Amino acid sequence: MAFNKVTTTPFDDQKPGTSGLRKKVTVFQQPHYLENFVQSTFNAAGNCQGKTLVVGGDGRYYNATAIQTILKMAAANGFSHVWVGQNGILSTPAASCVIRRYQAFGGIILSASHNPAGVDGDFGIKFNISNGGPAPESITNAIFTNSQQIEQYQISDASDIDLGQLGTQQLDGMSVQVIDSVADYAELMQSLFDFTAIRDLLTQGTFRMRFDAMHAVTGPYATEILENQLGAPKGTVINGVPLPDFGQGHPDPNLTYAEELVAEMFSANAPDFGAASDGDGDRNMILGDNIFVTPSDSLAILAANATLVPAYKNGLSGIARSMPTSQAADRVAEKLGIEAHETPTGWKFFGNLLDADRATLCGEESFGTGSNHIREKDGLWAVLFWLNVLAVEKRSVEDIVHQHWQEFGRNYYTRHDYEAVPSEQAQSLMQHLQNQLADLPGKQFNGNTVSYADNFSYTDPVDQSVSENQGIRIGFESGDRIIYRLSGTGTEGATLRVYIESYEADQNKQHQDTQLALAALIELAGSLAMITDLIGRTAPTVIT
**Which of 20, 102, 14, 17 is CA-nearest to residue 58?**
20
C-alpha to C-alpha distance for 277 and 251, rounded to whole angstroms: 7
Give yes or no for residue 471 binding ligand VG1 (CB under 6 A).
Answer: no
Give yes or no for residue 122 binding Co ion (CB under 5 A).
Answer: no
Give yes or no for residue 250 binding ligand VG1 (CB under 6 A).
Answer: no
When the beta carbons of 48 and 125 are compared against ligand VG1, the nearer one is: 125
How deeply is 321 buried, as exposed, middle or buried, from its count of CB atoms within 10 A (0-12, 13-18, 19+)?
A: buried
CB atoms within 10 A of CB 5: 11
User: Given CA atoms 49, 50, 52, 53 in this order, what sign does their dihedral have?
Assistant: positive
Using the rule CB under 5 A, give the single segment among 52-60, 107-115, 128-136, 498-506 that binds Co ion: 107-115
Task: Give the interface size with ligand VG1 as a residue count (CB under 6 A).
Answer: 18
Contact mark string toward ligand VG1, 253..282, x via CB under 6 A: -------------------------x---x
Q: Is 113 a catalytic residue?
A: yes
Q: Restricting to residues 355-374, which ones interact with ligand VG1 according to CB under 6 A?
A: 364, 366, 368
* Residue 81 contact partner, candidates ligand VG1, Co ion, none, CB within 5 to 8 A by sort of partner: none
* Residue 368 contact partner, candidates Co ion, ligand VG1, none, CB within 5 to 8 A by sort of partner: ligand VG1
Give yes or no for residue 114 binding ligand VG1 (CB under 6 A).
Answer: yes
The full DSSP string for 28-84 is HTSTTHHHHHHHHHHHHH---TT-EEEEEE---TTHHHHHHHHHHHHHHTT--EEEE
Beta-carbon contacts of 68 under 8 Å, excluding residues fewer than 6 positions away, are 160, 161, 163
Q: Which of 282, 330, 460, 480 binds Co ion (CB under 5 A)?
A: 282
Give yes or no for residue 473 binding ligand VG1 (CB under 6 A).
Answer: no
Contact mark string toward ligand VG1, 497..516, x via CB under 6 A: x-------------------
What count of residues does the chain have?
A: 544
CB of 94 to Co ion, least distance (A): 12
C-alpha to C-alpha distance for 437 and 449, rounded to whole angstroms: 14
Using the rule CB under 6 A, give the single segment among 64-72, 149-157, 458-466, 485-493 that binds ligand VG1: 485-493
Q: Are 130 and 374 in contact (CB under 8 A)?
A: no
CB of 124 to Co ion, least distance (A): 10
Put the strands of the sheet holding 318-322 in their side by side order: 339-343, 318-322, 361-364, 368-371
When the beta carbons of 110 and 161 are compared against ligand VG1, the nearer one is: 110
Q: Are 189 and 380 in contact (CB under 8 A)?
A: yes
Give yes or no for residue 321 binding ligand VG1 (CB under 6 A).
Answer: no
CB of 368 to ligand VG1, least distance (A): 6
Q: Which DSSP category does 223 fall into?
A: I
Contact mark string toward ligand VG1, 181..220, x via CB under 6 A: ----------------------------------------
CB of 112 to ligand VG1, least distance (A): 7
C-alpha to C-alpha distance for 353 and 131, rounded to whole angstroms: 12
C-alpha to C-alpha distance for 178 and 374, rounded to whole angstroms: 21
Residue 161 main-chain phi, psi, to 5 deg? -85, 150
C-alpha to C-alpha distance for 280 and 274, rounded to whole angstroms: 19
* Residue 375 contact partner, candidates Co ion, ligand VG1, none, CB within 5 to 8 A by sort of partner: none
What is the tally of helices (H) and strands (E) in the chain? 18, 27
Using the rule CB under 6 A, give the single segment among 166-174, 406-414, 487-495, 508-516 that binds ligand VG1: 487-495
C-alpha to C-alpha distance for 123 and 182, rounded to whole angstroms: 22
Give yes or no for residue 296 binding Co ion (CB under 5 A).
Answer: no
Q: Are 18 and 368 in contact (CB under 8 A)?
A: no
C-alpha to C-alpha distance for 454 and 434, rounded to whole angstroms: 8
CA distances from 203 to 106, 209, 219 (A): 39, 11, 21
200 phi-psi bin (left φ>0, alpha ψ -120 to 50, beta other): alpha
* Residue 330 contact partner, candidates ligand VG1, Co ion, none, CB within 5 to 8 A by sort of partner: none
Q: Which of 40, 43, 87, 113 binds ligand VG1 (CB under 6 A)?
A: 113
Identify any residues that bridge with 411 across adjacent strands, giving them in sequence order.
503
Q: Which DSSP category does 135 fall into?
A: P
Catalytic residue (choose from 91, 96, 111, 113): 113
Give yes or no for residue 246 binding ligand VG1 (CB under 6 A).
Answer: no
Give yes or no for residue 19 binding ligand VG1 (CB under 6 A).
Answer: yes
CB of 114 to Co ion, least distance (A): 6
Give yes or no for residue 127 binding ligand VG1 (CB under 6 A).
Answer: no
Q: Which of 37, 347, 412, 499 binds ligand VG1 (CB under 6 A)?
A: 347
Determine which helix (DSSP H) or strand (DSSP E) holds 444, and give its type and residue range.
strand 444-445
Q: Which of 212, 278, 364, 460 binds Co ion (CB under 5 A)?
A: 278
* Residue 378 contact partner, candidates Co ion, ligand VG1, none, CB within 5 to 8 A by sort of partner: none
CB of 491 to Co ion, least distance (A): 15
Residues lying near Co ion in the complex (CB under 5 A) are found at 113, 278, 280, 282-283
What are the residue numbers of the active site?
A: 113
Residues lying near ligand VG1 in the complex (CB under 6 A) are found at 18-19, 113-114, 278, 282-283, 322, 345-347, 364, 366, 368, 487-489, 497
